[in-house]
């Protein structure tokens, strides 16, 4: 070959730890987040009037004084926006209409020329309430003694895999009936029964929620939002306001942390509602940190009763799970959290007999929504601690117990689905080896106790059966590639991973690929939501299809011009080569202008536009009574974590000596990004295990600030963390990849609980496992005086 450009050394884009493609902007301060967009002098500021009661009827709202305040542009209340909205169960309105159901629920909103005026106006809104008896406990809420929070539950719209019970507070009851649990207990040599209460926690993105909305004179709405779900927001908000989806444009700049909180629709609908009443004016709504803590999605609380048994050798035989989820005032998203908790309720273990009731209950608490790995941290906190105890009872060492029962290819899962190939054995081995789980080690001082804990996990993307992804690939004159996509960069690095995949599928160097951002529903291709650790797999498949489509078009153009067959052509390092004629041409220009045919016969080709669309088609519904069906989910990601800790006997303080985390990612497209996800998730999991709890007293969150709601800081994370990953390929994943964004925080509470038990012999059921709780328990047990 004369031109050796195709032979220059190139890094295979798959499996290479490229630098993130958004990082230069992020370190120089030029990265644009929603609050950084300038709207000029016309910008209005929104504030919400919120309910001070957990449960009350709204008797009267008087907005006249607020409206009369100079500087106030518009005041809206629920009566103008009666339509219901919700991702799964449509049980929510933008503002409370006839009753309020939690403290902080918006009842009205103001748009004014400044924050100060808006805040003053909110104070001038007068609302008369009649207080009602409230529900603050999910188990009580599920009983027939509880007052009804949604008397109209029978009228709410929901998909056919959610099962609300009209006339109760039960928004979803998901059941598993696999095998025969009641007769299995007799065959068990050892049984453990435990109850756990997992508190509500908050996602705490450092960027609070923000949305800006503007309606033009013709009624078209543009929303700029910090969002994981621009397309779902377009759909749901358009639906609630009776406008066409194509007249609602959502622009989603970079997101300063999401973790599920910015999925679906929450506060974004408020500025839109205001904007519809003041055409032409942009309206900005930025949540305060206090509002962020309890007025938007939180992770719902869970009370779980676990009973699990095994035979003499330690083979799991039976599991019974009773789960009461504190869904809060609306369960539009939470119903699917409880469903996920149900269909994965065995954990990554092969258990022949399982009975699960996963019950989502309305309470007068903040609204539960998606939180990183939803349902799974909560479930595993109970399940993996009960299993830890069972292993000990059976006299089987814990690592052996997990491995013996770990789910394997071909196993019939809790839903009847057949398990695929997976690397759980390697994940457990990695953690066991890293922490020397088989060695009991001495504490560093007599004032300390030492313990090690391990916990395995699994998680499937929790979503409707048919969430779609799409992508396009275009090229510029210089042969550079632009990928259009609708999944969102929330810090996980998806734009980088998508660029790597497009580069590899097309045959160009990684550096030549750009991502068309920000995501904008007017130009970007459809993506369901940036949730469920689904992008690498689902959007990745769409991007690969689009890149392959573009590649096909290029090869057809060149083949026609050269009178060759596409079978003999390839694109290597951005150069089209013929294996037959050994001719070469770079992509420059031909991807826009096409190529002249030989003998002056005209032209071939033209601007290249590749398209790709992907949607899983094989997920089935599950039987309402048994939770059984051929395929509950697309796949599971499995993994394991462990901790080696010391506990200070004088204070109960935990010192982590080492952490280990290993997940089967199928294929690490960018190993450094995988490890970064695991580190961050582990830290978030540990933070939730040691510190975090939304303290609710009669519906009031008593700790809505960083001073009173502590999250892990840098000194808390002062220990080595080992993160070897496993790669057992996913059959329908791009290069075998599956997601891992959420999983690292799933087993952490259980791993810590097991380590505390190993150190002290104390099983602390209810997280967070704070120093105070540990100290008091040690005192109680006589370990310290």
Partner 1 sequence: MTLKTITLTVNDLVETVDVPQNMTLLQMIREKLSLTGTKNGCAAGECGACTVLMNGEPVNSCMVLAAECEGANIVTVEGLAKAGKLSTLQDTIIEAGGVQCGFCTPGMLISATALLKRNPNPTDSEIRSAIVGNLCRCTGYVRIVDAIKMAAK
Q: Rule CB under 6 A: is residue 206 a binding residue for ligand FES?
A: yes
* 681 sits near ligand FES (criterion: CB under 6 A): no
330 versus 688: smaller Cβ distance to ligand FES: 688
Residue selected from 22, 67, 247, 568 as contacting partner 1 according to rule CB under 8 A: 22
Q: Which residue has the tokens 């039976």?
A: 318
Binding ligand FES by CB under 6 A: which of 257, 465, 468, 671? 257
The C-alpha atoms of residue 390 and residue 191 are separated, in whole angstroms, by 7
Which residue number places its CB atom closest to ligand FES? 206
Does 714 engage in binding with ligand FES (CB under 6 A)? no
- Of residues 257 and 479, the one with the C-beta less far from ligand FES: 257
Quote the least distance from Cβ 351 to partner 1, whole Å. 32
The interface mask with partner 1, positions 215-254, x = CB under 8 A, is: ---------------------------------------x
Tokens 């779900």 map to which residue? 229
- In the bound complex, what is the minimum distance in angstroms from residue 302's beta carbon to partner 1? 22
253/491 with CB nearer ligand FES: 491
Q: Judged by CB under 8 A, does residue 31 bind partner 1?
A: yes
Per CB under 8 A, 560 contacts partner 1: no
CB 233 within 8 A of CB 250: yes
Residue 491 interacts with ligand FES (CB under 6 A): yes or no: yes
Residue 489 bears catalytic tag: no
Q: Which one of partner 1, ligand FES, none interacts with residue 33, CB within 5 to 8 A by kind?
A: partner 1
Q: Which residues are CB-neighbours of 4 under 8 A, at least 6 positions away?
A: none
Give the pair of three-digit tokens for residue 691.
């510190």
Residue 20 binds which of ligand FES, partner 1, none (CB < 5-8 A, kind-dependent):
partner 1
Taking CB under 8 A as the criterion, the residue among 236, 386, 673, 690 binding partner 1 is 673
- What residues from 76 to 95 belong to the interface with partner 1 (CB under 8 A)? none
Query: CA 706, CA 694: separation in Å to the nearest integer?
Result: 11
Those residues whose C-beta lies under 8 Å from the C-beta of residue 512, and which sit 6 or more positions away, are 479, 480, 481, 503, 574
Instruction: Supply angle C-alpha 566, 571, 575, rounded to 5.
Output: 120
Written as six digits, the tokens of 457 are 């996990």
**Residue 285 lies near partner 1 (rule: CB under 8 A):** no
Single out the residue of 137, 161, 25, 154 nearest to residue 88, CA to CA. Answer: 161
**Residue 194: other Cβ atoms inside 10 A:** 17
Please report the DSSP string for 358-370 in residue order: EEEEE-SSPPB--
Q: Tell me the window of 415-423, 465-473, 590-598, 680-688 that interacts with partner 1 (CB under 8 A).
A: 680-688
Report the alpha-carbon distance of residue 90 to residue 268 in Å, rounded: 16
Closer CB to ligand FES, residue 169 or residue 533? 533
Nearer to partner 1, 205 or 747 (CB): 205
Which of 362, 374, 510, 682 is close enough to bind partner 1 by CB under 8 A?
A: 682
Determine, following the binding rule CB under 8 A, whether residue 41 of this chain makes contact with partner 1: no
Which of the stretches 14-22, 305-313, 320-328, 521-529 binds partner 1 when contact is defined by CB under 8 A? 14-22
10 Å CB burial of residue 364 (0-12, 13-18, 19+) is buried
Query: Of 2, 9, 30, 697, which one interacts with partner 1 (CB under 8 A)?
Result: 30
Q: Rounded to the nearest whole angstrom, what is the least distance from the CB of residue 383 to partner 1 in the complex?
A: 24
**Please, which residue, 4 or 23, has the CB nearer to ligand FES?**
23
- In the complex with partner 1, the residue whose CB is nearer, 310 or 643, is 643
C-beta closer to ligand FES: residue 80 or 290:
290
Residue 626: is it exposed, middle or buried by C-beta count within 10 angstroms (0-12/13-18/19+)? middle
Pick from 706, 779, 780, 781 the residue near partner 1 by CB under 8 A: 706
Closest CA to 365 of 587, 168, 122, 105: 105
546 closest CA partner among 468, 615, 483:
483
The one of ligand FES, partner 1, none whose footprint includes residue 602, by CB under 5 to 8 A per kind, is none
Interaction residues for partner 1, span 447-506 (CB under 8 A): 490-493
Q: How far is the CB of 511 from ligand FES (least distance, A)?
A: 24
CA distances 172 to 84, 145, 168, 201, Å, are: 18, 18, 10, 21
Burial 693-702 (b: 16+ CB within 10 A, else e): bbebeebebe
* Residue 416, phi-psi category: left (phi > 0), alpha (psi -120 to 50), beta (remainder): left
Euclidean distance between CA atoms 682 and 388, whole angstroms: 20
Q: What are phi and psi of 651, to 5 degrees?
A: -130, -20
Measured distance CA(368)–CA(378) in Å, rounded: 13
> Which tokens hold the place of 179?
């095998």
Task: Kindly state whether residue 679 participates in binding ligand FES, applying the rule CB under 6 A.
Answer: no
Residues at the contact surface with partner 1, assessed by CB under 8 A: 17, 19-20, 22-33, 35-36, 38, 203-208, 254-259, 288-289, 490-493, 672-673, 675-676, 679-684, 705-707, 711-715, 717-718, 721
Catalytic residue numbers? 742
Residues at the contact surface with ligand FES, assessed by CB under 6 A: 206, 257, 491
């Amino acid at each position: 070959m004369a031109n050796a450009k195709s032979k220059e050394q190139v890094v295979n884009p798959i499996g290479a730890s490229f630098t993130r493609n958004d990082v230069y902007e992020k370190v120089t301060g030029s990265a644009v987040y929603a609050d950084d967009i300038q709207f000029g002098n016309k910008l209005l500021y929104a504030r919400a009037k919120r309910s001070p009661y957990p449960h009350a009827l709204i008797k009267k709202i008087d907005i006249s004084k607020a409206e009369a305040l100079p500087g106030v542009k518009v005041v809206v209340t629920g009566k103008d926006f009666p339509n219901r909205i919700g991702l799964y169960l449509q049980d929510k309105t933008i503002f409370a209409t006839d009753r309020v159901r939690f403290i902080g629920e918006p009842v009205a909103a103001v748009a004014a020329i400044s924050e100060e005026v808006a805040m003053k106006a909110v104070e001038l809104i007068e609302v008369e309430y009649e207080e009602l008896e409230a529900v603050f406990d999910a188990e009580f809420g599920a009983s027939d003694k509880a007052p009804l929070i949604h008397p109209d539950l029978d009228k709410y719209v929901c998909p056919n895999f959610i099962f609300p019970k009209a006339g109760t507070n039960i928004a979803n009851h998901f059941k598993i009936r696999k095998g025969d649990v009641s007769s299995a207990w007799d065959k068990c040599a050892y049984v453990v029964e435990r109850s756990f209460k997992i508190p509500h926690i908050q996602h705490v993105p450092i960027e609070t929620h923000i949305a800006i909305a503007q309606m033009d004179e013709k009624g078209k709405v543009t929303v700029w939002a910090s969002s994981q779900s621009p397309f779902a927001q377009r759909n749901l908000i358009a639906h609630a306001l009776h406008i066409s989806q194509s007249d609602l444009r959502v622009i989603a700049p970079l997101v300063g942390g999401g973790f599920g909180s910015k999925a679906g629709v929450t506060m974004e609908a408020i500025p839109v509602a205001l904007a519809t009443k003041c055409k032409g004016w942009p309206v900005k709504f930025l949540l305060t940190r206090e509002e962020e803590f309890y007025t938007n999605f939180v992770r719902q609380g869970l009370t779980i009763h676990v009973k699990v048994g095994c035979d003499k050798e330690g083979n799991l035989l039976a599991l019974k799970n009773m789960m009461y989820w504190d869904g809060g005032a609306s369960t539009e998203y939470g119903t699917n959290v409880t469903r996920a908790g149900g269909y994965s309720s065995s954990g990554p273990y092969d258990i022949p007999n399982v009975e699960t009731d996963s019950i989502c209950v309305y309470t007068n608490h903040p609204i539960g929504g998606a939180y990183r790995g939803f349902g799974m941290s909560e479930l595993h906190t109970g399940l993996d601690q009960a299993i830890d105890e069972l292993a000990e009872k059976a006299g089987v060492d814990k690592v052996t117990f997990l491995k013996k029962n770990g789910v394997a290819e071909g196993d019939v899962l809790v839903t009847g689905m057949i398990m695929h190939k997976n690397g759980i054995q390697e994940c457990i081995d990695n953690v066991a080896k890293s922490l020397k789980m088989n060695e009991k080690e001495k504490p560093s001082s007599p004032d300390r106790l030492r313990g090690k804990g391990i916990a395995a996990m699994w998680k499937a993307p929790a979503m409707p059966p048919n969430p779609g992804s799409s992508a396009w690939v275009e090229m510029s004159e210089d042969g550079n590639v632009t990928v259009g996509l609708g999944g969102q960069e929330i810090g996980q690095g998806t734009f980088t991973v998508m660029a790597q995949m497009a580069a590899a599928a097309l045959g160009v160097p990684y550096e030549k690929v750009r991502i068309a951002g920000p995501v904008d529903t007017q130009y970007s291709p459809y993506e369901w939501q940036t949730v469920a650790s689904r992008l690498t797999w689902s959007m990745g498949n769409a991007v690969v299809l689009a890149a392959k489509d573009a590649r096909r078009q290029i090869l057809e153009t060149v083949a026609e011009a050269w009178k060759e067959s596409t079978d003999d052509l390839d694109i290597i390092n951005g150069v089209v080569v013929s294996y037959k004629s050994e001719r070469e041409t770079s992509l420059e220009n031909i991807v826009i202008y096409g190529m002249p045919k030989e003998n002056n016969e005209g032209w071939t080709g033209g601007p290249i536009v590749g398209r790709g669309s992907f949607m899983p088609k094989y997920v089935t519904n599950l039987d309402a009574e048994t939770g059984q069906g051929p395929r509950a989910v697309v796949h599971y990601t499995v993994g394991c974590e462990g901790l080696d800790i010391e506990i200070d006997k004088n204070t109960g303080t935990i010192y982590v000596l080492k952490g280990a985390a290993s997940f089967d990612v199928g294929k690490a497209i960018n190993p450094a990004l995988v490890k970064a996800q695991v580190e961050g998730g582990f830290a978030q999991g540990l933070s939730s295990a040691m510190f975090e709890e939304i303290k609710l007293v009669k519906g009031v969150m008593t700790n809505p600030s960083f001073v009173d709601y502590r999250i892990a800081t840098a000194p808390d994370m002062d220990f080595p963390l080992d993160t070897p990953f496993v790669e057992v390929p996913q059959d329908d994943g791009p290069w075998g990849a599956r997601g891992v964004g959420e999983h690292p925080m799933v087993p952490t509470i259980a791993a810590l609980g097991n380590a505390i038990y190993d150190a002290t012999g104390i099983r602390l059921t209810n997280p967070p496992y704070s120093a105070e709780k540990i100290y008091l328990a040690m005192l109680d047990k006589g370990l310290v005086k």
